[in-house]
Amino acid sequence: MNSVFNVLPRISLKASIVLAVACVLAALTAWAITPRLVAVENAPRLEETVPRRFGDWAELPSPYAQVSLSTGEAPNMDQPYDQTLMRTYVNSKGQVVMLALAWGAKQRQEVKVHRPDLCYVAQGHKVKQFSSAQFSGIAADHGPVIGSKMVTEGPHGGEAVMYWIRIGDIYSESAVATRVHILLEGISGRIPDGILVRASIQIRGQEDAQTAWPVMEAFLTDLVAATPFGTRKLMIR
């Protein structure tokens, strides 16, 4: 009886080498396109580096609880952040601004910065107004800082809210844009970091929002300018 090996096709040495090289190239290609963390090594600590006093603003111990940075989803989907910071500031005019920062080193399709318009609704607020906002006074490397502003009405009163979300080098204005950018970064072998920068002021009615917008924009402009370079690069690009 002939051995089974006798009926197998014979492969020349040259073909074997070509096949081996192809396997190595395929393995290298797979390794090259595997997403890897590009971001910030030894990221500055927000709690330590974000100034407690700057310009006309100083930290104010506040009894008011801010709206959470979470949407209340499943725990593995609900903790996309490596660092968060929540503070309240007051200026010499008695104007009070609440600040929330949330930074995550790895932004992926299933784990990424939560959008405030979803977080507020998930916690019992109604979004009464919503529109785009451009923070023209903040100098970023990749063009103007683009974000959103909204007026909400909740169980304990209303808020005027301004924020931006940076994912990698873009400012995301929509969930779709975020997903597309993360996908393209992954195809390029990168996993971007991301941050939410949110400011809010408590208001009695929607008409109060008109006076709140310039206050918050000035607050955020001064904050970014006063923040050390390394932490500023987390906030803007």
Nearest to 37 by CA among 115, 94, 108: 108
DSSP state of 206: G
Mind listing the pLDDT tens digit of every residue in the chain (237 residues)? 555 445 545 667 666 566 666 665 655 555 455 555 554 568 999 999 999 999 999 999 876 778 887 655 444 444 678 999 999 999 999 999 999 999 998 787 655 788 899 889 999 999 999 999 999 899 888 788 999 999 999 988 999 999 999 988 889 887 777 778 778 887 877 888 899 999 999 999 889 999 999 999 999 999 999 999 999 999 998
* Cβ-based neighbour number of residue 95 at 10 Å: 17
pLDDT of residue 222: 97
Same domain (yes/no): 88, 147? yes
Same domain (yes/no): 22, 98? no
Same domain (yes/no): 9, 120? no
Same domain (yes/no): 23, 140? no
β-pairing verdict for 157-167 and 83-91: unpaired
Same domain (yes/no): 65, 21? no
| One-letter amino acid of 140 | A
Whole-number Å distance between alpha carbons of 125 and 155? 7
Same domain (yes/no): 41, 29? no
Same domain (yes/no): 107, 210? yes
Same domain (yes/no): 81, 147? yes
pLDDT of residue 79: 62
When divided into structural domains, the chain yields a total of 2
- Asked if residues 66 and 161 have their Cβ atoms less than 8 Å apart, the reply is no
Same domain (yes/no): 88, 195? yes
Which segments of the chain does DSSP mark as H helices, in order? 4-7, 13-33, 46-49, 75-78, 116-122, 175-187, 209-226, 229-235
What single string gives the DSSP state of each residue in 56-100?
A: TEEE----PPPPPS-----HHHH---SEEEEEEEEETT--EEEEE
**What are the backbone dihedrals phi and psi of residue 99, each rounded to the nearest 5 degrees, phi first?**
-115, 135
Domain with 22 in it: 4-33
Both tokens assigned to 225: 């300018």
| One-letter amino acid of 139 | A
Whole-number Å distance between alpha carbons of 183 and 179? 6
* Cβ-based neighbour number of residue 79 at 10 Å: 14
What digits encode the pLDDT tens for the residues 149-171? 999 999 889 999 999 999 888 89
Same domain (yes/no): 75, 184? yes
Whole-number Å distance between alpha carbons of 113 and 37? 16
Same domain (yes/no): 187, 204? yes
Same domain (yes/no): 28, 54? no
